[in-house]
């Protein structure tokens, strides 16, 4: 699930998919924060899609799974942190953040999610 989410994020960023597809998978505050990231292509155009270079994760609590995804775009690498929570409906993404999101007041991956 984390790898597929990260690949979708890259496809949205490259202009291959619409942001609403990403927004449907995350809480509104996360969708707003990720939507603020610039796309790699001008409106109406597309850019090469990056790929997931690596993924590291662990179950950090009985109902939480935290992962760091290494994204690669041409010669540039970036980290994407993702937190999933287990509920009666299964696993869902409750947080997704990039290093540049640390200045955002809604950034919460480094604190415990209730």
pLDDT at 32: 83
Q: Which of 71, 72, 76 is nearest to 96 (CA)?
A: 71
pLDDT at 113: 43
- Give the tens place of pLDDT for each residue, 58-82: 999 999 999 999 999 888 899 999 9
Tokens of 96: 């997704």
pLDDT at 104: 57
pLDDT at 103: 64
- Give the tens place of pLDDT for each residue, 3-55: 999 999 898 888 888 888 988 888 888 888 777 776 666 677 778 889 999 99
The answer to whether residues 1 and 8 touch, using CB atoms and an 8 Å cutoff, is: no
Domains along the chain with CATH numbers: 2-103 (3.10.450.50)
Tokens of 110: 């480094």
Expressed in angstroms, the distance from the first to the final Cα of the chain is: 21
pLDDT at 38: 67
For range 82-104, the mean pLDDT? 85
DSSP one-letter string for 18-48? -HHHHHTTS-HHHHHHHHTSPPSS-TT----
pTM equals 0.81
Rounded CA gap, 16 and 38, in Å?
14
């Amino acid at each position: 699930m984390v790898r597929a989410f990260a690949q979708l994020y890259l496809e949205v960023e490259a202009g291959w998919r619409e942001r609403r597809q990403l927004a449907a998978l995350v809480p509104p505050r996360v969708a707003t924060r990720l939507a603020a990231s610039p796309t790699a292509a001008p409106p109406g155009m597309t850019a090469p899609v990056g790929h997931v270079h690596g993924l590291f994760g662990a179950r950090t609590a009985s109902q939480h799974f935290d992962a760091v995804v290494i994204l690669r775009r041409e010669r540039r690498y970036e980290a994407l942190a993702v937190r999933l929570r287990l509920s009666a409906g299964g696993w869902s993404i409750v947080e997704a953040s990039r290093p540049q999101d640390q200045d955002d007041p809604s950034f919460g991956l480094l604190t415990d999610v209730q």
